[in-house]
Amino acid sequence: MPLTMVRTGEKSIIRKVGGKEETRRFLENLGFVAGGTVTVVSETGGNIIVNVKESRVAIGKDMANKIMVG
């Protein structure tokens, strides 16, 4: 399921990062890599704030839809 479907406070494992090559590379540089864990901290105004690789990152819902978790 996409990251946008994860409830706040829930920890998930990243299964796949989709999208164009440049989008995937951008997300991987932020720490969104397959096998990594991600926790949704909050949702505000169309953005999702997550903890990934020991840092807090805000991404738009369009980008979050490209991150598949399970």
pLDDT at 20 over 90: yes
- How far is 57 from 21, CA to CA, in rounded Å? 20
Q: What is the pLDDT of residue 61?
A: 94
Q: What is the pLDDT of residue 7?
A: 93
Number of compact structural domains in the chain = 1
How confident is the prediction for the chain on average, in pLDDT?
Answer: 95
pLDDT in tens, 26-53: 999 999 999 999 999 999 888 999 999 9
Residue span of the structural domain in which 55 resides? 3-69
**Predicted model pTM:** 0.91
Q: Tokens standing for 21?
A: 């090559």
The strand ranges marked E within the chain are 11-17, 37-44, 47-52, 55-60, 67-69
Q: State the CATH number of the domain containing residue 63.
A: 2.30.30.90
- How far is 51 from 54, CA to CA, in rounded Å? 6
Those residues whose C-beta lies under 8 Å from the C-beta of residue 36, and which sit 6 or more positions away, are 13, 14, 52, 53
